[in-house]
Structure 1
Amino acid sequence: MSNLNKVPCTIITGFLGAGKTTLVRHLLGNAGGRRLAVIVNEFGDVGVDGTLLKGCGDESCPDENIVELANGCLCCTVADDFAPTLDVLLARQPAVEHILIETSGLALPKPLVQAFNWPAIKGRVTVDAVVAVVDGAALADGQVAGDLAALESQRAADPALDHDNPLEEVFGDQIACADLVVLTKDDLLDAAGQARARAAVERALPRGVGIIPAVEGRVSPDLLLGLGLATEQDIENRRTHHDAEEDHDHDDFDSVVVPMPPVADAAALTARIEALARDHGILRVKGHVAVIGKPMRLAVQAVGGRVNQYYDRLWDKFEERQGKLVAIGLHGFDRAAVAALLAG
């Protein structure tokens, strides 16, 4: 079957906190008449990214077209989760015209792209492109994500540790499969920082790939959608760290989901999140909270000690104003202490 008869899918991959959900929100709000669907692969016990996308009020992608897969990294559960989800979305009426797949921060995109060659799938969908979203501010500081300077110093000082940082391997695998790279947080960098970030991406790229700088996910859909690359037909030529492995695990990471009561002071919440990165090595915090006296929901996105908060939508009239934050860190962090600090 010609690719023209298949529903195109854009795989959006990227490390924790790079800005994938922000980019997807922008695409939903600027769909240009396309009928979209979104598959969100959440890391953790309860989905959060999906709630940041639902309720945005865009007719191009109603809430029922946003599906959360929270049973684990999609690259590991593709057979159990991905194929059945496609069945559901492709049966929607009116018909879905383009599917966005937001992978978890730890996902290796290659197994997912390879699944598009499965007999039960390949006749119906195609990979329009793989878009890697990378944190320009972190790259400018010489890191793949967040504030990992303390971890890197510990690793370098201990010759008994494995010197192949798993975070860097994940980053390398995502870049290796990319058709386009979106370099986020460009506004946080001066010209020298922008040059360092771009150079870091170029060093990781195995071939010529376009690099698009972005602020708050504002990239024209014309640059990212409708590319028609059929990446699944070329995926075996994209070499990654894990090509020799049958599968991989995520034992290096752990997460805790924290129900959040309404907060009186958003600035105090920011200070607590900054303390998580400083005192407990937390890499990522994301979710939403209710702020006392405010009619809108406060979305929270934090990478290391950098915290971004914004009011994303009004609370529904009959919706319980119950917040929820997910904290993600290296395996072994004190989950109870992190939850207590986060909840205040």
Structure 2
Amino acid sequence: MNAPQARSLGKIPCTIITGFLGAGKTTLVRHLLENAGGKRIAVLVNEFGDLGFDGSFIAGCGISGCTAEDIVELPNGCICCTVADDFVPALEKLLDRPNPPEHILIETSGLALPKPLVNAFNWPAIRSRVTVDGVIAVVDGPAVADGQFADDPDALAAQAAQDAAVGHDNPLEEVFEDQILCADLILLNKSDLVDAAGRERVKAEIAAHLPKAIKIVETAHGKVEPALIVGLNAAAEADLAGRPSHHESAEDHDHDDFESLDFALATAASPEELSARVARAAEAEGVLRLKGFAAIPGKPMRLVVQGVGRRVSHHYDRAWAAGEAKDGRLVVIGLKGFDRKAVEAALAG
């Protein structure tokens, strides 16, 4: 993080971190904060859900030099759709601090289109004060290797037509493609879970969608040399024409195909038991992502559990605060109308 950065006319650089659900954006942000090298960094977090989990995950991690005022959550919908109401005021608040940050990391939700957000940096209120240092797209290597995103839209449409449960067009492929098309650098995360041939196949698939050469860097657990991420000096807000999109305006980006619901997560006897419940819930029709925390009897730490597709992971992130209610919660993100009863039944054990 100590690499020299040439700021454009004294503007504060911002790095936009985009990527699909569960790709590892928050893990990357934590890694960058842990390796800030004394640089004052602030984070804007936009989690699509009522729990605001990603913000608490970062703010409560005990990273040296990272205070509560350095983490700003924007929970009121996707950041690319709430630019005027949420993003610009939050950014101005950070810039107006007596000791403003030297760099700002912006973690979008998994459903966000980065181009409208990049364009927001041209708004009169902020365009003379900040610049987009770079857009980083975090890609879930195993998910792409497993064929989560189809190259052939006709085949995808045919598959959807055979499924009576699908009553709408699925925009996931377009969201994914828009994110990598806007990127200055693509991180192929969780590369340790894909063999060499699989990694090359995924990189070739990503490159096939790109009209220009964009560097793809393999990484695991979001661990990458910070100098590769920070200091790109891309000034992306001045390069909108070079970042094609399926949706050229925020109005075209409709989240009605998705919904996010908050479920109670009862105490479990062990992490394995809790993970088994979450894994069953992940199999419910229409579920895309699960993320939350719970208490384990006899353990002073809060257990974090996450599920994407068939993969469920868990770890202890921090101690429960004195007097804090140990009420577990789980945010489930899925296609609109996903099987809520099946999720509830799975979580009940």
Normalised to the residue count of structure 1, the TM-score between the two structures is 0.92
Partner of 2:347: 342
Q: Which amino acid letter does the alignment assign opposite residue 114 of structure 1? A: N
**Aligned AA for 1:204?**
H
Q: Structure 1 residue 198 and structure 2 residue 220: aligned?
A: no
| Distance change >3 Å, CA 142–CA 203, structure 1 → 2 | same
Normalising by structure 2, report the TM-score: 0.90
Does the 8 Å contact 1:54/1:66 carry over to 2? yes
1:222-233 alignment runs, 5 A limit? 222-233=227-238
Task: Quote the offset at 1:4 in angstroms.
Answer: 4.2
- Equivalent of residue 52 in structure 1, options 57, 75, 89: 57
Q: Does 1:16 align with 2:36?
A: no
Identify unmatched segments of 5+ residues in structure 2: 1-6, 151-155
Per the alignment, residue 83 of structure 1 pairs with 88
Q: Please tell me whether residue 212 in structure 1 is matched to residue 192 in structure 2.
A: no
Structure 1 residue 162 displacement after superposition: 9.0
Bigger Cα displacement from structure 2, 286-295 vs 315-324: 315-324
Q: Find 2:39's aligned residue among 34, 41, 46.
A: 34
Matches within 5 A, 1:95-174: 95-144=100-149, 154-155=159-160, 157=162, 165-174=170-179
Aligned residue-pair number = 338
CA 1:238/1:259 → structure 2, altered by over 3 Å: closer, same or farther? same
| Counterpart AA for 2:215 | G
Deviations 1:232-254 (A, max 9, x none): 01013311111277432111111
Q: Which amino acid aligns with 2:125?
A: A
User: For the residues of structure 2 that align with 1:58 and 1:245, how far apart are their CA atoms?
Assistant: 35
Give the Å deviation of 1:67: 0.9
Whether the 8 Å contact between 2:286 and 2:339 is mirrored in structure 1 is: no
In structure 1, runs of 5+ residues without a counterpart are 146-150
2:79 is paired with a residue whose SS is coil
**Cα deviation, residue 108, structure 1:** 0.5
> Per-residue CA shift, 1:262-312, capped at 9, x if unaligned?
322211221122212323331100122121111111112210110011111
Alpha-carbon distance in 1 for matches of 2:68, 2:91: 16
1:209 maps to a residue whose letter is: I
Measured at CA, do residues 10 and 58 of structure 1 come closer, stay the same or move farther in structure 2, by a change above 3 Å? same
8 A contact 1:127–1:230 mirrored in 2: yes
Percent of residue pairs bearing the same amino acid type: 60
Assess, with a 3 A threshold, how the Cα gap between structure 1 residues 153 and 298 changes in structure 2: closer, same or farther: farther
Query: Against the structure 1 CA distance between its residues 6 and 244, is the aligned structure 2 distance closer, same or farther, given a 3 Å change threshold?
Result: closer
Matching residue of 1:148: none
| RMSD, aligned CA | 2.3
Cα gap change, 1:301 to 1:46, in 2 (>3 Å): same
Distance across 1 between alignment mates of 2:48 and 2:157 = 23
Corresponding position of 2:153: none
Per the alignment, residue 265 of structure 1 pairs with 270
State the one-letter code of the partner of 2:259.
Answer: D
Structure 1 residue aligned with 2:4:
none
Note if 1:277 corresponds to 2:264: no
Q: Distance in 2 between matches of 1:4 and 1:23?
A: 28
Cα distance in 2 between the residues matched to 1:31 and 1:144: 34
Q: Equivalent residue for 1:317?
A: 322
Q: Secondary structure at the match of 2:237?
A: helix
> What's the offset of the Cα at 1:40?
0.7
